[in-house]
Amino acid sequence: MKTFKELRVSAPILEALSRQGYACPTPIQEQAIPQVLQGKDVLGCAQTGTGKTAAFSIPVLQLLSAGKPEGYKQGAIRSLILTPTRELAIQIDESLEAYGENLELKHAVVFGGVSQSSQVQQLRQGVDILVATPGRLLDLVSQKLIWLDKVEILVLDEADRMLDMGFIHDVKRVLSLVPAKRQTLFFSATMPRQIQALADAILRRSYEGGSDS
């Protein structure tokens, strides 16, 4: 078993992880983190409870903190993490806060069922990483409060659940709004044919991430 340091996780994040009490990476983290850090697309088959949130959050934080791309626009959303439920969205946002505590990156979360005003206020201050559920995200996009044209890394979390919940059209619409040239991380607990087809259609070099074994 490798350590986070051996996976080339950066010092500020290592420090945050040790404060969280994480001694070593889980299998999905050991498989996904190096692939993501190399800029590759990732297909991860992992259930909740396997550490999948950290498997994508850690390398996203590290890649974005490493430098800004050509044509960087101040305040632009550089990574979008799409997840099906408010509970998952909040949990991911809390993880970004914990793992990124020594970094300068800004993150925010938007989800439906609550007033949008405090979410909009946060967005106006500029956000590097946005965690979102599909409906509220597209609502804010249509109000021109969110632009996705500078997204460098797109994460689809619990893709099978998003499809089960009827978000397929929303997911496809989001895919049409983010740049074609991007890194994509795709996580799903199950891999039925429809999910595999979606992954095949949107990933550049798909990498089969491990399950919870």
Contacts of 63 by beta carbon, 8 Å cutoff, 6+ apart: 36, 37, 39, 152, 153, 183
Task: Tell the smallest beta-carbon distance from residue 74 to ligand AMP (Å).
Answer: 31
Task: Decide whether 65 or 91 has the Cβ nearer to ligand AMP.
Answer: 91
When asked if residue 22 is in the footprint of ligand AMP (CB under 6 A), the reply is yes
Stretch that binds ligand AMP, among 49-57, 78-86, 110-118, 138-146 (CB under 6 A): 49-57
When asked if residue 111 is in the footprint of ligand AMP (CB under 6 A), the reply is no
Task: Tell the smallest beta-carbon distance from residue 213 to ligand AMP (Å).
Answer: 14
Residue 136 dihedral angles phi and psi, to the nearest 5°? -65, -35
Enumerate the β-bridge partners of residue 81. 131, 155
Please calculate the CA angle 178-180-182 and round it to the nearest 5 degrees.
Answer: 80
Per CB under 6 A, the list member of 27, 34, 48, 206 interacting with ligand AMP is: 48
When asked if residue 209 is in the footprint of ligand AMP (CB under 6 A), the reply is no
| Cα 117 from Cα 85, distance rounded (Å) | 19
Residue 163 dihedral angles phi and psi, to the nearest 5°? -70, -45
Task: Tell the smallest beta-carbon distance from residue 80 to ligand AMP (Å).
Answer: 18
> What separation, in Å, do the N-terminal and C-terminal C-alpha atoms of the chain show?
14
Mark 50-79 with x for binding to ligand AMP (rule: CB under 6 A) and - for no binding.
xxxxx-------------------------
The contact set with ligand AMP (CB under 6 A) reads: 22, 25-26, 29, 48-54
